[in-house]
Amino acid sequence: MPSARAPHPSELALPPGDLWIFGYGSLMWDPDFPYVQWAPALIYGYHRALCIFSHRWRGTPKRPGLVLGLDRGGACRGIAFLVARADRGPALEALWAREMRRRVYRPRFLRARLPDTEVCALAFIADPKQTGYAGGLSIRQTAERVANCCGARGANLEYLARTVAHLRELGVHDHNLQRVLAAARALNAQAHP
């Protein structure tokens, strides 16, 4: 059953000092908060997946598309951003406006392995208890949605193609997303020869 409200950033038990934030999707190439530095990061226990229904931006209420979330199991390469203590408030407000509006994510601190150390980083994971959660779809089911859905920000296929391209530019090769993209492109080519 969906929760009544998303937690407010002030309710987080923040570590003292600076704050690390883990990005695994568009946050990697489009952070909208101030940060001091960034580093490649790896987390275990979650993987990047098209596991969140999009009823507005990449789909409609009748034909919801899919956007990224961190889903249980596996590992995920991303980017950890270091936010200075003085900027934590504005950074968290920006993140909440961006990630927590629909209440499909849960904020959680995860261990993130950086090239030379390990840090505790704030991440937004998919909440399987929410109605917007779309985990468990097969590659074929995911590809069908991606190939056929479109919302206010454009086609779901375009979103996935851009995501895979941005990840490659950052040196991240997500084989699951690449397989979904190939299957979605094939379905799209069949539908629009």
The whole-angstrom separation of Cα 26 and Cα 31 is 8
* Number of structural domains in the chain: 1
Q: How confident is the model at residue 87, as a pLDDT? A: 96
**Least confident interval from 12-16, 25-29, 30-34, 45-49:** 12-16
Angle formed by the axes of helices 175-191 and 156-169, to 10°?
A: 140
Local structure of 168: helix, strand or coil: helix
144 catalytic, yes or no? no
Q: How confident is the model at residue 11, as a pLDDT? A: 63
Q: Which residue segment(s) compose the domain that 34 sits in?
A: 15-191
Handedness of CA 185, 40, 68, 136 (dihedral sign): positive
Residue-wise pLDDT for 147-191, tens only, equals 999 999 999 999 999 999 999 999 999 999 999 999 999 999 998
**Least confident interval from 31-45, 93-107, 108-122, 127-141:** 93-107
CATH assignment of the domain containing 32: 3.10.490.10
- Torsional class of 145: left (φ above 0), alpha (ψ -120 to 50), beta (otherwise): alpha
DSSP string over 50-88: EEEEESSSSS-SSS-EEEEEEEEEEEEEEEEEEE-GGGH
What are the backbone angles phi and psi of residue 8, rounded to the nearest 5°?
Answer: -85, 150
Q: How confident is the model at residue 15, as a pLDDT? A: 79
Residue-wise pLDDT for 99-118, tens only, equals 888 789 999 999 999 999 99
Local structure of 141: helix, strand or coil: helix
The whole-angstrom separation of Cα 117 and Cα 112 is 9
Beta-carbon contacts of 172 under 8 Å, excluding residues fewer than 6 positions away, are 28, 77, 78
User: Facing residues of 46 across strands?
Assistant: 72
Handedness of CA 167, 169, 170, 175 (dihedral sign): positive
* 33-59 average pLDDT score: 97
Residue 120 banded pLDDT, cuts 50, 70, 90: very high
- 112 vs 2, higher pLDDT: 112
Is residue 37 included in any domain, yes or no?
Answer: yes
pLDDT above 70 (res 63): yes
- Catalytic residue, chosen from 11, 93, 99, 169, is 99
